[in-house]
């Protein structure tokens, strides 16, 4: 699978506008992601009180800025009644932004983004300008604020990954000044996006029950699961991403190909070198100096290997139970069965030995040097780039939506308007209370928008 990511800057914003509008208006759902200039004191963002968290986030959003805005537009294609394929056409846009207001830039955030390939030269030289907070009436001319209003008018579900922070920043930077009350903010968001909001981090933890829930892991896990569904003749997702080839387009082709069978066998040799911190949390604080391997594919292979070991252990246990039952039977039947079972075990050991010899031969045929192998086969995908992160978020949602169609216990609509909250057992529910009014700024903007 290869995805076309369209970079949008001040140079090509006007020429790309019609393509973005067409993609938004034809979408069945929109996936969004932001890159920020900083997040302030992380302890406040994990406060036990959600109201305290919201207050801290408001202060951060008023003093920091959005530096990149990722938008992935998913349009579901026609599906034959007998087909298990769920087709999606996807257009991905990576917008470089530059806030005209003064804002705080945190060195830790910049180092993180630079390490993952963010182009600050491009952002400062050609970032699309915008101002935070409340603005005069927005006209029809292309602007970031107008783009955000088009997301409201689209009336399709919005998909985020760990979306609380993104929602707060989008409101402050692209819509209006944030309300002082969390309840008022929730009421405004509920009215703005009436087709609902879904959070893939919430879905993965509370409905799918994944071992980990950071975005790159979920994306690769969905790819693996999707391939298994396809092979088993069940519903699966296919994605098509075409280049625009228009005037002023700046396109980047991102490969998302899964490792093949031969590579997967070879990767197992590197399991002892997998960084435990990265395996458990999805990041390593000392990654630049850490001698271990940081690979999502290796994490998934490790999980599959452990699962296979557990399956073999259960098989051995069932075989021992079967042998125990035979041993307690009558002598004649037991004797004949044990002879037959013994022959089966010998045949099984012989087959296992032959398989091991074949694996050794396959291993010897692999001639990739270790350094070259690490560099070429285990590259990190271009995560933490807003456009591609938005695509990964939307792809996960499409896979979850398809997978949960067959579930007897849950469905994708159970995640509607539930936003994941770190270190909390319950999500933030986007639902307007009868006892809470929306903000006056919101009412004014929506009245003008819906005229």
pLDDT band at 300 (very low <50, low <70, confident <90, very high): confident
For the residues 355-362, what does the mean pLDDT come to? 48
Q: Look at 13-22, 142-151, 277-286 and tell me which has the smallest mean pLDDT.
A: 277-286
For the residues 11-35, what does the mean pLDDT come to? 96
For the residues 49-57, what does the mean pLDDT come to? 95
Give the pLDDT score at 28: 96
Mean confidence (pLDDT) of the chain: 83
Whether 359 shows a pLDDT value over 70: the answer reads no
Give the pLDDT score at 49: 94
For the residues 100-110, what does the mean pLDDT come to? 92
Dump pLDDT digits (tens) for 304-351: 777 755 555 555 555 555 555 545 555 454 444 444 444 454 444 454
Give the three-state DSSP class for 32: strand
Structure tokens at 427: 């999500």
Helix-helix angle 144-154:13-25, to 10 degrees: 10
Whether 278 shows a pLDDT value over 50: the answer reads yes
pLDDT band at 186 (very low <50, low <70, confident <90, very high): very high
CB-based contact 167:198 (threshold 8 Å): no
Whether 377 shows a pLDDT value over 60: the answer reads no
Greater model confidence, 312 or 84: 84
For the residues 388-396, what does the mean pLDDT come to? 96
For the chain, list the domains and their CATH numbers: 2-255+381-449 (3.30.420.10), 261-377 (no CATH)
Give the pLDDT score at 349: 47
Greater model confidence, 235 or 193: 193
Percentage with pLDDT > 70 across the chain: 82
Return the closest-CA partner of residue 177 out of 448, 449, 439.
439
Give the pLDDT score at 167: 98
For the residues 193-204, what does the mean pLDDT come to? 96
Give the pLDDT score at 319: 53
Whether 407 shows a pLDDT value over 80: the answer reads no
Whether 406 shows a pLDDT value over 50: the answer reads yes
pLDDT band at 106 (very low <50, low <70, confident <90, very high): very high
Q: Which pTM does this prediction carry? A: 0.83
Whether 355 shows a pLDDT value over 70: the answer reads no
Q: How far apart are CA 62 and CA 133, in angstroms?
A: 8
Q: Look at 61-75, 125-139, 151-165 and tell me which has the smallest mean pLDDT.
A: 125-139
Whether 159 shows a pLDDT value over 50: the answer reads yes
Give the pLDDT score at 274: 84
- Which among 115-129, 243-257, 381-395 has the top mean pLDDT? 115-129
For the residues 289-305, what does the mean pLDDT come to? 82
CB-based contact 176:442 (threshold 8 Å): yes
Whether 111 shows a pLDDT value over 60: the answer reads yes
The residues near 24 (Cβ < 8 Å, ≥ 6 apart) are: 30, 71, 73, 150, 151, 154
Angle made by CA atoms 52, 201, 301, in degrees to the nearest 5? 135
Angle made by CA atoms 336, 338, 343, in degrees to the nearest 5? 100
Give the pLDDT score at 370: 47
DSSP structure string for 62-95: HHS-EEEEEEEEEEEPP--TT--EEEEEEEEEEE
Q: Look at 91-95, 344-348, 395-399 and tell me which has the smallest mean pLDDT.
A: 344-348
pLDDT band at 366 (very low <50, low <70, confident <90, very high): very low
Give the pLDDT score at 302: 83
Give the pLDDT score at 409: 73
Dihedral sign of CA atoms 26, 28, 30, 31 in order: negative
CB-based contact 100:131 (threshold 8 Å): yes
Q: How far apart are CA 29 and CA 396, in angstroms?
A: 12
Return the closest-CA partner of residue 146 out of 188, 178, 177, 174.
174
Q: Look at 201-215, 222-236, 301-315, 345-359 and tell me which has the smallest mean pLDDT.
A: 345-359
CB-based contact 152:449 (threshold 8 Å): yes
């Amino acid at each position: 699978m290869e995805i076309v990511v369209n970079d949008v800057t001040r140079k090509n914003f006007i020429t790309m506008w019609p393509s973005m509008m067409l993609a938004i208006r034809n979408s069945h759902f929109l996936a969004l992601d932001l890159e920020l200039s900083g997040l302030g004191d992380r302890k406040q963002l994990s406060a036990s009180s959600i109201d305290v968290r919201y207050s801290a986030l408001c202060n951060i959003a008023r003093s920091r800025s959005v530096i990149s805005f990722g938008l992935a537009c998913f349009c579901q294609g026609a599906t034959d009644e007998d087909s298990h394929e769920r087709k999606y056409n996807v257009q991905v846009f990576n917008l470089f932004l530059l806030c005209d207001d003064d804002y705080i830039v945190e060195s830790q955030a910049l180092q993180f983004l630079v390490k993952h390939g963010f182009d600050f030269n491009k952002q400062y030289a050609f970032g699309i300008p915008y101002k935070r907070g409340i603005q005069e009436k927005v006209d029809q001319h292309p602007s970031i604020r107008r783009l955000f209003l088009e997301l409201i008018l689209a009336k399709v579900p919005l998909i985020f990954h760990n979306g609380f922070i993104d929602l707060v920043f989008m409101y402050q930077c692209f819509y209006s000044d944030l309300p002082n009350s969390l309840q008022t903010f929730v009421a405004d968001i509920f009215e703005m996006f009436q087709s609902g909001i879904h959070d893939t981090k919430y879905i993965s933890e509370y409905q799918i029950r994944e071992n980990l829930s950071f975005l790159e892991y979920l994306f690769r896990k969905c790819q693996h699961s999707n391939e298994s569904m396809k092979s088993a003749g069940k519903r699966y997702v296919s994605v098509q991403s075409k280049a625009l080839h228009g005037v002023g387009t700046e396109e980047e082709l991102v490969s998302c190909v899964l490792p093949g069978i031969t590579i997967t066998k070879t990767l197992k040799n590197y399991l002892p070198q997998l960084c435990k911190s990265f395996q458990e949390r999805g990041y390593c604080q000392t990654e630049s100096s850490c001698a271990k391997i940081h690979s999502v594919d290796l994490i998934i292979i490790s999980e599959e290997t452990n699962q296979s070991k557990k399956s073999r252990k259960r098989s051995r246990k069932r075989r021992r139970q079967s042998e125990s039952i035979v041993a307690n039977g009558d002598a004649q039947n037991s004797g004949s069965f044990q002879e037959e079972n013994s022959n089966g075990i010998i045949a099984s050991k012989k087959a296992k030995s032959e398989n091991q010899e074949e694996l050794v031969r396959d291993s010897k045929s692999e001639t990739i040097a270790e350094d070259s192998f690490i560099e070429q086969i285990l590259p990190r995908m271009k995560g933490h780039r807003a456009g591609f992160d938005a695509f990964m978020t939307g792809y996960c949602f499409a896979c979850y939506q398809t997978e949960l169609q067959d579930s007897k216990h849950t469905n994708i609509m159970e995640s509607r308007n539930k936003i994941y909250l770190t270190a909390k057992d319950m999500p933030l529910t986007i639902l307007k209370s009868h006892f809470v009014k929306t903000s006056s700024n919101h009412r004014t903007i929506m009245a003008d928008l819906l005229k």
